[in-house]
């Protein structure tokens, strides 16, 4: 491993993610075909070009994530030029921050000649994001569920989404900061509410893994959704619109405010959302991050 390795250009494509999937709070998510494309080039001075509002100094999340890798390998503060083009809406519950973290860590790893294995990348990205439910599917693609082992490393399972399953996401014209959406959550829960979410999370992953799309109607939650839905003005109307179009399940995407709907065979069709909401119908990304 040597910085001499970094002679060319590193290109990274990271998918958006929808975390939680109802009861899989902080542990489960799926990758979506909406991307942040990051190009990293050699440069004498840190230079950051982004098509979305983002800091252009060392506090930039892509760069600070790169720097977490550089620091591990004795290259702290190594200057680079970063160009980021992202179609993932910010502060929307579609993993835009996780995409920056995964993109930065994977790009820096490539710049240094790939000293990190996939497991090291998953561990570091989880540490930087605080939980694996966005970074994990962004790295491995498909539907992924992770947990933190007693030694602090991340263990996980993943499955490709069943063919025939289609998704839609509705994003409102207002943002919701993850920190605000987390501040709304209680510190303790009743056993009944824990079992409500736990049972649904287990069946949800099993439904994805076995291809039993109809069983995804189990998606539901009492750990975060009841406290966040009041922060998402219009949620009930959007849920009704999705259900009227045949959605099997509807849930808050990540910390919100985006709403995720899962449909069976055939594209989600004839969905009329309330004013101020944007509809996207991305494919599930079964590949995960790509580094060239
Ligand atoms: N699991 C996280 C949450 C995802 O719901 O707060 C957003 O970071």
Cα 232 to ligand 1 centroid, rounded to whole Å = 15
Outline which parts of the chain fall under CATH 3.30.230.10: 10-160
Residue 1 has pLDDT above 50, yes or no: no
- The ligand 1 atom at the shortest distance from the C-alpha of residue 182 is 6
* Residue corresponding to tokens 């998402």: 232
CATH number of 165-280: 3.30.70.890
The radius of gyration of the chain's CA atoms, rounded to the nearest angstrom, is 19
Condensed to tens digits (0 to 9), the pLDDT of residues 59-105 reads 999 999 999 999 999 999 999 999 999 999 999 999 999 999 999 99
- Residue owning the nearest CA to atom 3 of ligand 1: 255
Cα 255 to ligand 1 centroid, rounded to whole Å = 5
Q: What is the DSSP secondary structure assignment for residue 11, as one 8-state letter?
A: E
Outline which parts of the chain fall under CATH 3.30.70.890: 165-280
- The ligand 1 atom at the shortest distance from the C-alpha of residue 129 is 8
| Cα–Cα distance measured from residue 257 to residue 121, given in angstroms and rounded to the nearest whole number | 28
| Cα–Cα distance measured from residue 178 to residue 77, given in angstroms and rounded to the nearest whole number | 28
| Cα–Cα distance measured from residue 278 to residue 256, given in angstroms and rounded to the nearest whole number | 14
Cα 56 to ligand 1 centroid, rounded to whole Å = 25
| Cα–Cα distance measured from residue 221 to residue 201, given in angstroms and rounded to the nearest whole number | 8
Q: Which residues of 62-85 are buried (b: 16+ CB within 10 A; e: fewer)?
A: bbbbbbbbbebbebeebebbbbbe
**Check whether domain 10-160 has CATH 3.30.230.10, yes or no:** yes
| Cα–Cα distance measured from residue 145 to residue 171, given in angstroms and rounded to the nearest whole number | 24
Taking CA atoms, 205 is separated from 129, 168, 220, 241, in Å, by 22, 19, 12, 25
Cα 149 to ligand 1 centroid, rounded to whole Å = 19
Condensed to tens digits (0 to 9), the pLDDT of residues 4-36 reads 567 789 999 999 999 999 999 999 999 999 999
- Residue owning the nearest CA to atom 5 of ligand 1: 255
Ligand 1 proximal residues by C-beta, below 6 Å:
19-20, 25-26, 131, 133-134, 178, 181-182, 224, 254-255
- The ligand 1 atom at the shortest distance from the C-alpha of residue 134 is 4
Cα 247 to ligand 1 centroid, rounded to whole Å = 23
Q: Supply the pLDDT for residue 244.
A: 93
> Residues 93, 18: contact at Cβ < 8 Å?
yes
Q: Which helix (H) or strand (E) holds 126?
A: helix 118-129
| Cα–Cα distance measured from residue 39 to residue 292, given in angstroms and rounded to the nearest whole number | 10
Of 87-101, 155-169, 175-189, 267-281, the range with the lowest mean pLDDT is: 267-281
> Residues 86, 99: contact at Cβ < 8 Å?
yes
The SS3 assignment for 261 reads: strand
- The ligand 1 atom at the shortest distance from the C-alpha of residue 185 is 6
Cα 80 to ligand 1 centroid, rounded to whole Å = 30
Condensed to tens digits (0 to 9), the pLDDT of residues 116-128 reads 999 999 999 999 9
Give helix 96-111 / helix 132-140 axis angle, nearest 10°. Answer: 50
Cα 284 to ligand 1 centroid, rounded to whole Å = 19
Banded pLDDT at 2 (limits 50, 70, 90) = very low
Report whether the peptide linkage leading into residue 257 is cis, meaning its omega lies within 30 degrees of zero. Answer: yes
- Residue owning the nearest CA to atom 6 of ligand 1: 255
| Cα–Cα distance measured from residue 83 to residue 11, given in angstroms and rounded to the nearest whole number | 10
Contacts of residue 259, defined as CB under 8 A and 6 or more positions apart, other chains included, come to 169, 170, 232, 235, 238, 239, 242, 250, 251, 252, 253
Token pair for 51:
């098509």
């Amino acid at each position: 491993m040597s910085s001499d390795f970094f002679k060319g250009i590193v290109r990274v494509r990271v998918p958006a993610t929808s975390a939680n999937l109802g009861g899989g709070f902080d542990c489960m998510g799926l990758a979506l075909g909406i991307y942040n494309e990051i190009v990293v080039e050699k440069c004498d001075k840190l230079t950051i070009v982004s098509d979305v509002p983002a800091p252009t100094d060392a506090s930039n999340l892509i760069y600070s994530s790169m720097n977490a890798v550089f620091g591990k390998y004795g290259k702290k503060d190594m200057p680079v030029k970063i160009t980021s083009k992202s179609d993932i809406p910010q502060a929307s519950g579609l993993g835009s921050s996780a995409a920056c973290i995964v993109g930065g860590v994977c790009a820096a790893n490539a710049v240094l000649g790939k000293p990190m294995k996939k497991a090291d990348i998953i561990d570091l990205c989880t540490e930087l994001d605080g939980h694996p439910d966005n970074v994990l599917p962004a790295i491995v693609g498909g539907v992924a569920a992770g947990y933190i082992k007693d030694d602090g490393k991340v263990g996980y399972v993943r499955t490709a989404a069943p063919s025939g399953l289609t998704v839609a996401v509705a994003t409102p014209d207002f943002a919701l900061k993850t920190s605000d959406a987390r501040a709304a959550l209680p510190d303790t829960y009743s056993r009944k509410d824990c079992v409500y979410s736990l049972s649904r999370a287990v069946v949800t992953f099993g439904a994805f893994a076995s291809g039993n799309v109809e069983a995804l109607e189990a998606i539901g939650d009492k750990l975060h959704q009841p406290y966040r839905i009041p922060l998402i003005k219009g949620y009930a109307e959007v849920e009704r619109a999705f259900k009227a179009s045949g959605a099997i399940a509807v849930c808050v995407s990540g910390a919100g405010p985006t709403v995720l709907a899962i449909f069976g065979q055939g594209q989600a069709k004839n969905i009329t959302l309330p004013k101020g909401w944007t509809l996207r119908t991305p494919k599930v990304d079964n590949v995960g991050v790509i580094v060239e």
